[in-house]
Amino acid sequence: MNNFLVSLITMDHINFERDIKLVDSLGVDGLHIDIMDGHFVPRYGIYPEIIERLSSISSLPLDLHMMVKDTEFTIDQFNNNENIAYIHFHIESCFGNEMRIVDKIRSIGAKPVVCINLSTSFSSLDRLLSNNEIDGVMLMGIHPGVLKQDSRPNNILNDLKDLKERTCSLNADSFIALDGAVSMDTIKPMSEAGINYFVGGTSSIYKNVNRSDDWKIQEQKIKENWKEIKKLLDK
């Protein structure tokens, strides 16, 4: 089963509630939220109070993507939210301490997903994968936290065979996710190659959505995009 989550950072930031309620009503599988510290990535966002507010707006499952240097500290700031389904942590920020991160994530009732950047070797994941310690692997199709960059879908497609061989020991409910490089043009080939968990935004569900347009026009375009995404994912 293919899952599609909407990236919160690609929504209209002064109309989060409106946008969230719409995608919830459309039937997306969850919200993906970037937690950034300005050190591991050159951007900031989002603080715990916003996550608490989101949970009062919608019951959609939440993915927290920890783009931070101190993963353990940051997880502790978000440990009081029942809607957090998965916490994604970067292998690059905690190499050598990944088992401790996994334990901390499970201790707050969430499931751990390990993220890996474009230039990081898959061999860094071997112990997590061989010991079935995680519930998924998320590939980055872009450099995390960097604005206005080209995605690298071909790199992902070239690497997927290797990753699928490494993840064969994971449980049946585990997944391979993609964040960045998710577009109307890439969803189908990525799905066929083995991606079954997509994080999308400006190039997919919000493609050609002009935030200066009347809301009814925006809403119609989002609905049209979602219809196309479901077709691409056979949902």
The answer to whether 226 touches 28, Cβ cutoff 8 Å, is: yes
| Per-residue confidence (pLDDT) for residue 23, from 0 to 100 | 98
| Per-residue confidence (pLDDT) for residue 147, from 0 to 100 | 66
CA 222 – CA 214 distance, rounded (Å): 13
The answer to whether 167 touches 176, Cβ cutoff 8 Å, is: yes
| Per-residue confidence (pLDDT) for residue 144, from 0 to 100 | 83
Cis before residue 51, ω within 30 degrees of 0? no
Q: Which residues of the chain are modeled with pLDDT < 70? A: 147-148
Quickly tell me which residue has 């409910």 as its tokens.
Answer: 173
CA 166 – CA 168 distance, rounded (Å): 6
pTM of the model: 0.95
Closest of 197, 176, 85 to residue 125, by C-alpha: 176
